Structure formats: C-alpha cells, structure tokens
Amino acid sequence: MIQAAAPRLVLASASTTRRALLDSAGLRFEAVPAAVDEAAIKEAAQAEGFPPADAALLLADAKASRVARRDPDALVIGCDQLLVCEGRWYDKPPDIPAARAQLLALRGRAHELVTAVVCHRHGGRIWQHVAVPRLVMREFSDEFLAAYLAIEGEALLGSVGAYRLEATGAHLFTRLQGDHAAILGLPLLELLAFLRQHGVLLE
C-alpha cells in the first residue's frame, strides 16, 4: 500500500475529471463539493487587480478552507482554474451559444490555463502550487465547430475552456505546452510530491 491510513484525503470539488485523476493515481479519497460563490470571488479579484495566478489561488483556497472547517483532521485539496486569453478571463459558458462564442474568440489564438491547487489541514493552508499550461487553438472551420458542438453538447459547459481534452477537444489544438494533468485541472505530479513529503504517500 502506497498511501498511509491517515490523514484522510478530501477533494473539495465536484469535478469528475479531477476525481478521475486522483483515481488514476490510486489514491483513496472522498469528494466533497465546496459551496463558495466563485463568481463573486473572481469579480472581487479582478476589481482589486489581482494577477490570474493569485486569483486562482484565492478560489482554490476558498474551496479547501470551506470543506476543511468541517473536517479539520483531513487533508483537504482545493483546486481552481482560470482561462486567460490576451488579458481576458473566461468563465464556464452557461449554454451552448455561449460555448460557441467562446470557442470562436479562442480560435487561432494562444491562451493559458492558470491552474491552482491548495491543501489545508488543522485550520490552515499547508501547501500551494500554480501551474500555467499554454495552449494554441487552431483555425478550425465553422463547419468543424458546428460538428464539435453537436458531438460534445452540454458536457462542454463544465469546462472553463468549453472543451474537454479528455474527449474530442484535442481536435481543437495545434500545440499544448505544460503538464497534461494540469491542463485537465489538477497539477497531479506536484500534488503527489507534496503528499510524499507530508507522509501521506510512501517516499
């Protein structure tokens, strides 16, 4: 067994992709979605001039902190991801027309996925990390976009980029720079390294 019996791991997220990443690493954990007002936190961060990395950390910390207050003995993992293209921050699209508009705005351009992970235990933050993968979207046709939206449907609405690299989203890109797991929403290798240093996993 590579994982210690204690502390228990809790993922403060409803993301099926992040759960799948931890599952793929063989970790035992509980997923507990954190009820935080992400839009309000992001709006305040932008109003105060926070850089994207600080805003992503703020959001990840809010999620981990909320869940950790109810379970202080657990090691709680909070994550968040911001998409930044030419200075503009993008949110998860609320519907298919918004997803189409977002993909058109990203078409032919490079963007960054600012991906933060924070760990809390015993009432405080004990670790944090930010990864910034860079992706270049190709100049796809309107016909391709219509077909892509028809295939993916509402599954796109759960992604800040309106694409899923774990599905057919790879067809949108010409270049990906950065760790694949971080692109999906969780810098897994860095998290595993921290868990080994913290005694949760065997060295």
Enzyme catalytic residues: 80
Residue 199's φ and ψ, nearest 5 degrees, are 85, 5
DSSP state of 65: H
Nearest CA-CA partner of 41 in 67, 80, 93, 75: 80
Residue 106: how many CB atoms within 10 A of its CB? 22
The Cα 106–Cα 84 span in angstroms is: 10
Residue 128's φ and ψ, nearest 5 degrees, are -155, 155
